Amino acid sequence: MRVLAAVFFGVMVYAAEAQGPRAAVRRPAVKAEVQPDGPVVVMDTSLGRVTCRLYSKLAPVTVANFVGLVSGTKAWTDPQTGAAVQGKGFYDGVALNGISDGMIAGDRMGGGKGVMPSFPAEKTGLGYERGGRLAMAKGDAAGTESGSLFYVTAHPDLEYERRGGVVFGQCDEASQAVVAAVSHALLSVDNHPERPVAIHRMVVVQAGEALPAVAAEVPSEQVTPQPVPVPVATLPAPEPTGPGVVIETSKGTMHCRLFEETPIATANFTGLVKGTKAWKNPATGAEMRGKPFYDGLHFGRVIPDFMVQNADEPGGVGKGDIGFKFGVETVPGLSFDRPGRLAYANSGPDTNASEFFVTEHAVRRLDGLYTIFGQCDAASVGVVEAMARVPRDEKNKPMVPVVIRRIKVEAARQ
């Protein structure tokens, strides 16, 4: 199953990992890390400096395009005026957006599209097993990379492998902390800040040159694009009046209440919790009756400022078949407009089954893609925050299992 987390301006995909308990296995030898050999790019942002060295030999076309935009030697068209621009850095004064485990920039017009033409993606052999990767976003056609949209990661995250993006630089550890701060600041307000978080200046530093002084802040009104106000709800959001559920985990207990407006999802969840719904053990193929589904399983995917997900199945079989699937239920007015939404994960229409997630912040970009079937209280969101910040591997799986000890169903409100 997967949760599609449309993150920056447009859509980015975060695939869930449905994995069982971690076995004591020998990891393969890690190949020697290729070191970047090109110039250094320095980004002075609203929350600090980001310094990255480029892979000129592995990604010569990508590096040349990026350096040209940074330095102003590559012409570009101002999308607001249509005028050709020469001799001015493309990224100076550009707003940043938060993405899970990182930040993205390069859109001067809003809507999540770069203004420079895409070009054929280079194959560098570099992945996302390290934090601090500087990469171009995927282009607007298969096999291409964006001409201007780039992102920087703050944590090792192999989920980036699925959405493409050519790695062409490596940022240092201090920079990764800045990127994490940018990501948190923006995702915690669902990428709708009151004041923009921006790149004030970006420069290229060649070998032997000193790093420049920190750039002056660009006035908020000169940042492009300007922050988009929080969407105004057109319908009142329903409040949950269905059964309560208590999710006891090794990191704390969550209290949630289910929506009667999503009868299929709610009945499926309560049936699995109680053991009154039959399901197939994906490890053995045996039909199970009278056995609670979730007790003893794990939260197998945790991402700060996004969500925690039950991505585990009986027998440790990831992405297994438990004998049924069902579609997404959408409810007018019911939105990911607040923290603590309890929803089903899926890999597309009609693929809901058993995996669920709980959100840490508002994530309106998920609206319409997933069934929200419950709301967890404020204390539960604190448990989500703690769970999302446990040490995790490059697949966003906790290093020490976060266990669902028990889930129980309480009576509906009268």
- Could you report the average pLDDT of every consecutive run of 10 residues in the chain (414 residues)? 44 30 37 87 98 98 98 91 91 96 91 82 95 95 93 95 90 98 98 96 96 96 92 90 97 98 98 96 91 95 97 79 94 96 94 96 96 98 98 96 96 70
- 22-49: pLDDT as tens digits: 333 333 444 578 899 999 999 999 999 9
Which residue is listed with tokens 């539960």?
380
> What pTM did the predictor assign?
0.90
- State the Rg of the chain over Cα: 23
CA-CA distance, 260 to 246, in Å (whole number)? 17
Whether 131 contacts 152, CB under 8 Å: no
- 389 sits in the region (left: phi over 0; alpha: psi -120 to 50; else beta) called alpha
For residue 368, what pLDDT is reported? 94
For residue 162, what pLDDT is reported? 83
Let me know if the fold of 40-222 is the same as that of 243-412: yes
For the chain, what are the domain ranges?
Answer: 40-222, 243-412
What percent of the chain has pLDDT above 90?
78
Closest CA to 396 of 189, 169, 164, 154: 154
CATH architecture entry for 243-412 = Beta Barrel (2.40)
CATH class belonging to 40-222? mainly beta
Closest CA to 52 of 130, 117, 146, 107: 130
Residue type, 321: D
CA-CA distance, 303 to 16, in Å (whole number)? 11
CA-CA distance, 131 to 262, in Å (whole number)? 39
As given in the structure block, the two tokens for residue 234 are 């057109």
